């Protein structure tokens, strides 16, 4: 065995797209022609692959003709003995490449212990992967029976339109929903940008800012406190003039919820989003069982949101997005129907 050591930080290995695909490969990979399984066998093969992997090389080239198949046998043995997962090789564990969508789906199902899920989401757009590859990959997942539908999350209206255009062109399935952030203080995208698309999409959404828990700072066990890096922009915005104005609005809404509706600010916030006819589901967050029960009381608040109450809410918010001008043209669905 050699005494080779890691001399190159694997995090510094550059990755590039393989041709026009969304597959990202390391700038340097390891070949096996004439060596692995041929002139090099046994433990030296393991040492070579191990050192290559530890130095950032995770793409290994082999072929059925190399050493009459012994190259593949040696490489497969070493991969198993080193405990490398299939997805460790040419890893694309983020983004929406065909490789990551398929491997990620398989691994998620394995972790869940399920044969399939109902909907699989493309969590954030991936501009380094062609849209055709994304749509084809999700359709492959559906054809395999690993999911019934696919959907998007925080995609722009333009991205969603492109996905549908590709799906229509290839006679494939487009996304059925968009999971976006939507609450009383975040309305522009779900209420304006997506407005022309609501004949085609349903929206799932979630938010924690409007619970009123941050009116007097960040509580010790709140999500903002326990995940400061993830919510650092939110925390930062709470301190500024704009953030204080948001808190003032939330305080007024809290008063309205308690006096006019007999509910909590959380329940009002959830009911306000749920009453939107374009909302298919509201995703709840809870760290305690009793929070689930309290959140579900929002169902009792929805019928109380009369036009008069909604007007009071708008008077406090003063942020209703202006409608997109239609210039007299009727709104058409993707089949050209009004």
Q: Which residues are catalytic?
A: 66
**Taking Cα atoms as reference points, which of 220, 214, 255, 258 lies closest to residue 236?**
214
And the tokens for 140? 């492959």
**Cβ atoms of 163 and 156 closer than 8 Å:** no
Number of C-beta neighbours around residue 111 at 10 A: 8
State the Cα–Cα distance between residues 321 and 338, nearest whole angstrom.
23
In contact, 132 and 171? CB cutoff 8 Å = no
Contacts of 176 (CB under 8 A, 6+ apart): 119, 149, 150, 151, 201, 202
Query: Using an 8 Å Cβ cutoff, are 152 and 160 in contact?
Result: yes
Burial code (b: 16+ CB inside 10 Å, e: under 16) for 70-105 equals: ebbebbeebbeeeebeebeebbbeebbbbbbbbbbb
Q: Say how many residues make up the chain.
A: 338
Q: 20-45 in b/e burial notation, b at 16+ Cβ within 10 A? A: eebbbbbeeebebeebbbeebeeeeb
Torsion sign, CA atoms 153, 155, 160, 166 = negative
Distance, in Å, from the CA atom of 265 to the CA atom of 250, rounded to the nearest integer, reads 8
* Structure tokens belonging to residue 305: 């949101």
């Amino acid at each position: 065995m050699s005494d080779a050591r890691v001399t190159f930080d694997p995090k510094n290995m550059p990755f590039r797209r393989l041709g026009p695909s969304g597959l990202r490969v390391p700038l340097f990979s390891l070949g096996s022609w004439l060596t692995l399984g041929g002139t090099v066998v046994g433990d030296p093969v393991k040492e070579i692959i191990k050192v290559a992997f530890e130095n950032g090389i995770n793409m290994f080239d082999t072929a059925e003709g190399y050493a009459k198949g012994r190259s593949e046998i040696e490489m497969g043995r070493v991969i198993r003995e080193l405990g490398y997962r299939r997805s460790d090789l040419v890893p694309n564990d983020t983004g929406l490449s065909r490789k990551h969508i398929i491997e990620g789906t398989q691994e998620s199902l394995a972790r869940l212990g399920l044969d399939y899920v109902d909907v699989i989401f493309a969590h954030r757009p991936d501009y380094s992967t062609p849209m055709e590859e994304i749509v084809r990959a999700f359709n492959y997942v559906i054809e395999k029976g690993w999911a019934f539908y696919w959907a998007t999350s925080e995609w722009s209206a333009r991205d969603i339109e492109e996905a549908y255009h590709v799906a229509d062109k290839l006679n494939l399935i487009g996304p059925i929903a968009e999971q976006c952030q939507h609450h009383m203080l975040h309305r522009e995208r779900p209420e304006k940008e997506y407005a022309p698309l609501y004949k085609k999409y349903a929206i799932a959404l979630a938010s924690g800012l409007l619970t009123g828990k941050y009116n007097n700072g960040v509580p010790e066990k709140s999500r903002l406190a326990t995940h400061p890096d993830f919510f650092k922009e939110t925390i930062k915005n709470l301190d500024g003039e704009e953030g204080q104005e948001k808190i003032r609005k939330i305080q007024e809404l809290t008063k309205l919820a308690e006096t006019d509706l007999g509910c909590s600010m959380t329940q009002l916030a959830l009911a306000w989003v749920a009453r939107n006819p374009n909302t298919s589901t509201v995703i709840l967050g809870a760290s305690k069982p009793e929070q689930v029960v309290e959140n579900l009381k929002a169902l009792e608040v929805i019928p109380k949101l009369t036009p008069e109450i909604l007007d009071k809410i708008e008077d406090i918010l003063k942020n209703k997005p202006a409608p997109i001008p239609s210039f007299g043209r009727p709104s058409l669905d993707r089949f050209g129907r009004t």
